[in-house]
Amino acid sequence: MENISFEKRDNIAVLKISRPKFLNALNSNTLLELDSIIEDVKRDKDIYVLVITGEGNKAFVAGADIKEMSNMSVFEAREFSILGNSVFRKIEKLEIPTIAAVNGYALGGGCELSLCCDIRIASENAKFGQPEVTLGITPGFGGTQRLARIVGTSRAKELIYTGRMIDAKEAEKIGLVNKVVTQENLMDEVMDLANSISKNAPIAVRMCKVAINRGIEVDIETGIQYETELFSHCFLTEDQRDAMAAFLDKRKVDKFKN
Ligand code: HXC
């Protein structure tokens, strides 16, 4: 891979967008690499949590690559948006939890990449924004849809219409990030969070994500039905039997299976 590094530590995978000269801007090649890694992650049953971050201490991802976009035809722009949206939707639909470790600028496509993760942890120097209208375009990797769902339509509209950047504190205040930490502690905090998730029964954690993700896209009756199906599905697992037996025996489960 030219623009992405990927490593696994125990059951946690860390994916790093790595084009630091361009503040990790997403060009087509990087999106294709991202797509290929996400396909691998989908198949790898030993990965319980995926962390996404950016190389260096200045940017998570400063957006889609403006140089590449500057000369696109309508057709090429459409294909570019379709490619990014397809990859980001795959990330959103991964059954394992995903955490964005936002270590600097998360602008345009970079903010959109963080939005398709389940949890966003930001360093104090992080800046978020959807500055597309300052470039004569709309967000194109899901920003109009996911930002509104996460922070509410009114706040999303203000941010998208003005294109203004907000700092990590403001992002936390409006519910865009879960937690703000110092830059030096960012990866430790994120790995602690990932570890605490990966210690739990992995199938149950996945079922929770599927229930929440599907549930917010449908009416509550249908969502509750999904939950019942997924809940009862857990009773097919060894983890359910072992964990409940361990509770009754007043001991801890050694290790959950997959
Ligand atoms: C291409 C980029 C880039 C980007 C930064 N660079 N962002 N290249 N695409 N999105 C490059 C710069 O051109 C520069 O290259 C190098 O990275 C360092 O950036 P500087 O601007 O010199 O750094 P600084 O002055 O510190 O400013 C940081 C910044 C600024 C505020 C983040 O770079 C910036 O405003 N970037 C663009 C942010 C943006 O508008 N993003 C949204 C893009 S639209 P050189 O070669 O000059 O050193 C988008 C649409 C998504 O994301 C949907 C598409 C379908």
Residues 174-209 have pLDDT tens digits of: 999 999 999 999 999 999 999 999 999 999 999 999
Distances (CA, A) of 183 to 21, 98, 193, 199: 20, 20, 16, 25
Crossing angle, helix 153-162 and helix 143-151, to 10 degrees? Answer: 130
Q: How far is the CA of 104 from the centre of ligand 1 (A)?
A: 12
Judge contact between 119 and 100, C-beta under 8 A.
yes
pLDDT at 122: 98
Long-range contacts of 3-8 (CB under 8 A, 24+ apart): 3/27, 3/29, 3/30, 3/33, 4/30, 4/33, 4/34, 4/37, 5/55, 6/37, 8/46, 8/47
213-242 pLDDT, tens digit per residue, is 999 999 999 999 999 999 999 999 999 999
Per DSSP, the three-state class of 181 is strand
* Averaged pLDDT score across all residues of the chain: 97
Mean pLDDT of 10-21: 97
Q: Band of the pLDDT at 254, cuts 50, 70, 90?
A: confident
Please tell me the number of Cα atoms within 13 Å of 179 on its side-chain side.
15
Mean pLDDT of 90-97: 98
Q: Band of the pLDDT at 151, cuts 50, 70, 90?
A: very high
Burial category of 73 from C-beta neighbours within 10 Å (exposed 0-12, middle 13-18, buried 19 and up): exposed
Instruction: Output the residue whose Cα is nearest ligand 1's atom 43.
Output: 63
Closest CA to 27 of 99, 76, 89, 75: 76
Provide CB contacts within 8 A for 177, sequence distance 6+: 102, 120, 121, 122, 126, 128, 168, 171
Structure tokens at 168: 């990590």
Judge contact between 63 and 110, C-beta under 8 A.
yes
Q: In this model, does residue 258 exceed pLDDT 80?
A: no
Mutating to test ligand 1, I would choose from 26, 31, 66, 69 the residue with most ligand atoms within 8 A of its C-beta, which is: 66
ipTM of the complex: 0.99
Q: How far is the CA of 62 from the centre of ligand 1 (A)?
A: 5
pLDDT at 136: 98
pLDDT at 38: 98
* Ligand 1-lining residues (CB < 6 angstroms): 22-23, 25, 62-67, 80-81, 84, 105, 107-109, 131-132, 135, 139-141
Structure tokens at 197: 């998730």
Q: How far is the CA of 65 from the centre of ligand 1 (A)?
A: 7
pLDDT at 88: 98
95 is catalytic: no
Q: How far is the CA of 128 from the centre of ligand 1 (A)?
A: 13
CA torsion sign for 38, 43, 47, 49 is positive
Q: Tell me the C-alpha distance between 99 and 191, whole Å.
A: 9
132 is catalytic: yes
Q: List alpha helices for the chain, DSSP H.
A: 28-43, 66-70, 74-93, 109-115, 143-151, 153-162, 168-173, 186-198, 202-215, 220-233, 238-248
Instruction: Report pTM.
Output: 0.98
Residue corresponding to tokens 């994120």 = 190
List the domains of the chain with CATH numbers: 4-198 (3.90.226.10), 200-249 (1.10.12.10)
* Pairing label, strands 12-17, 4-9: antiparallel
Q: Which atom of ligand 1 is nearest to the CA of 64?
A: 52
106-148 pLDDT, tens digit per residue, is 999 999 999 999 999 999 999 999 999 999 999 999 999 999 9
23-53 pLDDT, tens digit per residue, is 999 999 999 999 999 999 999 999 999 999 9
Distances (CA, A) of 169 to 74, 130, 176, 214: 37, 17, 10, 30
pLDDT at 255: 86
Closest CA to 147 of 136, 135, 131, 134: 131
pLDDT at 12: 98
Q: Tell me the C-alpha distance between 218 and 210, whole Å.
A: 12
